[in-house]
Amino acid sequence: MNVEQFSPPLVAILRGLSPQDAAAAGAALFGAGFRLLEVPLNRPGALESIAILAGMASAGAIVGGGTMLSVADVEAVHAAGGRLMVAPNANPAVIARGAELGMLCAPGVATPTEGFAALAAGAHALKIFPAEMVGVAGLKAMKTVLPAGTPLWPVGGVTPGSLGTWLAAGATGFGIGGNLYTPGIDNDELARRAVEYIDAFHAAVA
């Protein structure tokens, strides 16, 4: 799968999204310009929420699961319509199954060793996690040794104001969680935050 077809490369991490809130949250995020939505599996109702969001996704947008720790997770998300595989770790079997099913695979890595192993297993992008621990300097160092053009997506504590610093260090996209979405958030506020991130990204890359 070609990562470049999803622009801007910002993943909305919807931890704790309930099925009853999924359609409204999806409308707010897709309407603001997000093209990548992730519902972590370690909360109730995740697969149902993924199915609802996947049914709403237009061309050029995909939905998937986060905290995907097993091959069974990959297959369940794919069956629900998910086409994005995100994990906090880099399990080669999980990555390979996602790639085999045609999913966009973005496993979590924190070292060059993990990064190379993930790419060898079929990863399309590397989720730099936790970004607060790796840091801007760590990302910059990893970029110097990873294959040229590898998409690097910091996740953890990313704010609109920090996008430019990360991009200058070599980041190409981001995963955005609690600073964007929290369960029960007003949909107008979610849309406002989403637009703020979209605008900040475009301003930083301009």
Task: Report the candidate in 14, 11, 1, 6 with the shortest Cα–Cα distance to residue 45.
Answer: 14
Task: Report the candidate in 149, 144, 151 with the shortest Cα–Cα distance to residue 107.
Answer: 151
Residue 114 confidence (pLDDT) above 90:
yes
Domains in the chain, CATH or no CATH each:
7-205 (3.20.20.70)
Residues identified as active-site = 38, 127
The CA distance from 201 to 161, in Å, is: 9
The CA distance from 195 to 201, in Å, is: 10
Task: Report the candidate in 43, 53, 111, 40 with the shortest Cα–Cα distance to residue 81.
Answer: 53
Structure tokens belonging to residue 87: 């994990």
Residue 1 confidence (pLDDT) above 90:
no
Helix axes 112-121, 131-145, angle to 10 degrees: 70
The pTM is what? 0.97
pLDDT tens sequence across 74-85: 999 999 999 999
